[in-house]
Amino acid sequence: MIPNAKELQLISIYLYISEIYDKKLRYYCERFSNNSLPEFTDQEIITIYLFAMHYEQKYKISHIYQFASGYLRSWFPKLPSYVAFNTRLNRLGEALRLLSANLLETFQPDDCSKTESLLDSLPIITCSGKRTGKVATDITDKGYCSTKNMYYFGVKLHAVGYARPSRLPFPEHIVISPASENDFNIFRQNWSNIPNRIFYGDKIYYDHEFFDWLAKHMNSFMCTPVKAIKGQAANIKYIDKAANDLFSTAVSRVRQPIEALFNWLIEKTDIQRASKVRSTKGLFVHIFGRIAATYIFLIFNS
């Protein structure tokens, strides 16, 4: 049994999942077999996963299943075995990706700035760089995280978020790439066509020629900390140092909230650590399931 307040949250999540599943999600996880209408539905699996993930801080699939078996059996009497539950869940990665995108699009706060966006990336680590990555090798590879000063195998979660006054930014778009992919390349491929926007990023996004193109064709501007120019004369560097330091500090302060957003995601869902993942499908479930769990909690508690 669970408290009445949590029962109401469980019901609300199930009703929402059922509605969006019938409208959109079903087409991304449809089954073409004799068991196309199982007694234990996909809607129930997603509901259990999201509820246990955020309300009970159960991050491992085995712990989620144990919680459901021990406390939610009266709500889900057709709960299958752990192996069947895990197998069914791993088929829902694409549905969870669409669910997280729908949550971010549908429940966007009113105070989101449509003229300022913050950029950053978060490493999702499947194993340390000292070993050879053997999981989801079609989408993972070896990369370097400057923040942690470490090499790792995995992927990067890239996000562009709407700036919000005195609050964490709200993600506008999220993209997954191999760990070795340069952040600037992801921006250029996915978000450089956004017009009339001021972007704030770190030094990895610096490219003077592209900045000029962005301003001329899209009326958008990129602000990054000032990057040192190789071969620049020492006297010129000294003259510009004070102004460059002030500008770099101002940009870093503006974009600091997106770093706080990633720290918040890590604290709430342990999203960065994916060492228990054993397949590409499982990695998608790990990433987008946690994003969906985080934001569905905010929505149903606002």
* Residue where the block lists tokens 């549908």: 106
User: Over the stretch 202-218, which tens digit does the pLDDT of each residue have?
Assistant: 989 988 899 999 999 99
- Assessment of whether the complete model's pTM goes beyond 0.85: yes
Per-residue pLDDT at 29: 82
Looking at the chain, list the stretches that DSSP marks H as alpha helix, in order from N- to C-terminal side: 4-23, 42-55, 61-71, 82-90, 93-106, 183-190, 208-218, 234-269, 280-300
Q: What are 113's two structure tokens?
A: 């700035």
Q: Which residue has the higher pLDDT, 18 or 37?
A: 18
HSE-CB of 203 using CA atoms within 13 angstroms: 11
Give residue 231's identity as a one-letter amino acid code.
G
Q: In whole angstroms, give the CA distance from residue 84 to residue 213.
A: 52
User: Is 49's pLDDT higher than 70?
Assistant: yes
Domain ranges of the chain: 4-91, 113-276
Per-residue pLDDT at 281: 92
Q: Which residue has the higher pLDDT, 226 or 162?
A: 162
Residues in the chain: 302
Nearest CA-CA partner of 117 in 2, 254, 18: 254
User: Over the stretch 91-150, which tens digit does the pLDDT of each residue have?
Assistant: 999 999 999 999 999 889 999 999 999 999 999 999 988 888 888 999 999 999 888 888
Residue range 28-57: average pLDDT?
Answer: 86
User: Over the stretch 152-197, which tens digit does the pLDDT of each residue have?
Assistant: 999 999 999 999 988 999 999 999 999 999 999 999 999 999 999 9
Contact 92, 44 (CB under 8 A): no
Q: What are 285's two structure tokens?
A: 């479930």
Q: How confident is the model at residue 30 (pLDDT cuts 50, 70, 90)?
A: confident
Q: Compute the mean pLDDT over every residue in the chain, rounded to the nearest whole number.
A: 90
Per-residue pLDDT at 56: 86
Q: In whole angstroms, give the CA distance from residue 256 to residue 234.
A: 30
Q: In whole angstroms, give the CA distance from residue 70 to residue 65.
A: 8
Q: In whole angstroms, give the CA distance from residue 50 to residue 244.
A: 45
User: Is 227's pLDDT higher than 90?
Assistant: no
User: Is 245's pLDDT higher than 80?
Assistant: yes
Q: How confident is the model at residue 288 (pLDDT cuts 50, 70, 90)?
A: very high
User: Is 31's pLDDT higher than 80?
Assistant: no
Q: Which residue has the higher pLDDT, 285 or 1?
A: 285
Per-residue pLDDT at 173: 95
List CB contacts of 133: < 8 A, sequence separation 6 or more.
126, 127, 140, 141, 142, 153, 154
Per-residue pLDDT at 235: 62
Contact 252, 259 (CB under 8 A): no
Beta bridge partners of 10: none
User: Is 228's pLDDT higher than 80?
Assistant: no
User: Is 201's pLDDT higher than 90?
Assistant: yes
Residue range 219-233: average pLDDT?
Answer: 80
Q: How confident is the model at residue 234 (pLDDT cuts 50, 70, 90)?
A: low
